[in-house]
């Protein structure tokens, strides 16, 4: 497991720990028990403009192991336990181009939040 790997995980949504779905995640950091991740989503078109500005569009989908246009939801980091990761191996990883662009995207958006 490495930062910028993409896995499939069982991710809870909202404050409800009884509702979850299988979706791709981007690993940002990890330790023996937990992963710090961003969710990856295909749901973009119907989001508000205030939410869309925090969605990074993945350019190299094939490298990331994704088959539909997908976005990294950088609005919040999500900490999950390792046992919620469904795939034993990453389905892909961000390309070097996406890594650099995501870093700039997050840095720029964090500067605007201040």
71-105 pLDDT per residue, tens? 999 998 999 888 888 878 999 999 999 999 999 99
Is domain 5-113 given the CATH code 2.30.30.110 in the classification? Answer: yes
**27, 28, 21, 24: which is closest to 40 by C-alpha?**
24
Handedness of CA 101, 103, 106, 108 (dihedral sign): negative
Residue length of the chain: 114
Our CA angle for 99, 22, 97, nearest 5°, is: 10
Domain map of the chain by residue range? 5-113
39-65 pLDDT per residue, tens? 999 999 999 999 999 999 999 999 999
pLDDT band at 16 (very low <50, low <70, confident <90, very high): low
The runs of H, that is alpha helices, within the chain are 49-52, 61-64, 96-113
């Amino acid at each position: 497991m490495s930062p910028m790997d993409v896995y499939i995980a069982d991710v809870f949504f909202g404050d409800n720990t009884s509702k979850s779905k299988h979706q791709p995640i981007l690993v940002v950091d990890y330790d023996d028990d937990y992963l710090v991740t961003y969710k990856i989503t295909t749901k973009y078109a119907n989001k508000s403009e205030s939410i869309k500005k925090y969605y990074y569009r993945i350019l190299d989908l094939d490298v990331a192991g994704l088959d539909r246009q997908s976005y990294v939801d950088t609005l919040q980091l999500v900490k999950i336990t390792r046992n919620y990761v469904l795939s034993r191996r990453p389905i892909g990883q961000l390309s070097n181009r996406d890594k650099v662009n995501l870093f700039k995207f997050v840095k720029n958006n964090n500067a605007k939040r201040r």
